[in-house]
A and B are shown apart, each in its own frame.
Chain A
């Protein structure tokens, strides 16, 4: 997958009067001109705080929302300009796993039917064959014996089990590309790793490519091959996880890493916590968006948007310090 200049602005809801008085419309700059490429078979992490644009990016990638501008190519094809038929074919190949399994599942649909639904829509096999396929998938995601789970409703399952259903539903069409939006954020700590291990083994089996969206750097470090750190709709730093984590370059990445509480009482990190909070994406700061909070900001930072600078063949950073 190849992404270029991807941008998404959401109009801010204004009142009727403001609209009548033709007050200038305001926009939330959710994603602002980002580009990256994802190689087949890799797990690409989009990491950032709330409001960084990671979820919006993920949703655009599977065409749940249309970008304001920019291009996405999937396997050479332009995703952003597809006919309805092409688009349906694309949806079989690209799936999404949502954060909150309780909200992602219809409470009145049995989990078996929830998974089967995708097969129904894409008219794959006979009803008996679909049922058979769902049984196999339930077993595959660890909901055994599947006969017991097929007729259950989401409320009868635990959070971890529900997330397994959501994963099964995303995998039933044998997709090639899966966006996982915070798949373990709502799951208890002790079973997070179970869910991630399940996702990793499904990846092996189906030859998947993942986009893994998370706010948790430690989880990204565990699960991803390559990561992009996002801040206010832009990519601050991108690279192989080993390089980004071992020698973070962008002051924002450095701050994020030092902020994580480490489960080791002897580890007393030197904290470089920026002041304040992420500014409003309606009126993002000029130049480098991190400059008002950056401990290393200098005169160039508020004036000029930093370009991506190459650190190594697999590590780039958008910061004037390295330019």
Chain B
């Protein structure tokens, strides 16, 4: 087993474990925003780790160039899509978890005359 295979195997293993954790997270977390957080962070980094590990496993220049382009695109698009979906969910008034402590966005949304999600907990930042 060469060093490249070892590094690639470790990276791929860490990546698939992160993706599995993200999938468990979106089933177990209580509201949309926490689920989007789990999906964006864990799954985004997981895919990046898997792609980097696959580049090591191939060990060729062609695979490395294409996979680094895919990694860059993943790093650019995963946070944006998570943010977009979370903002749409918040604006659509989906309920927050009842243990939500602080909702700083509610102040600005009310100032802009928009409706805010209907929880009684933690509406006002301190």
A joins B in a complex: no
Which residues of B line the A interface, CB within 8 A? none
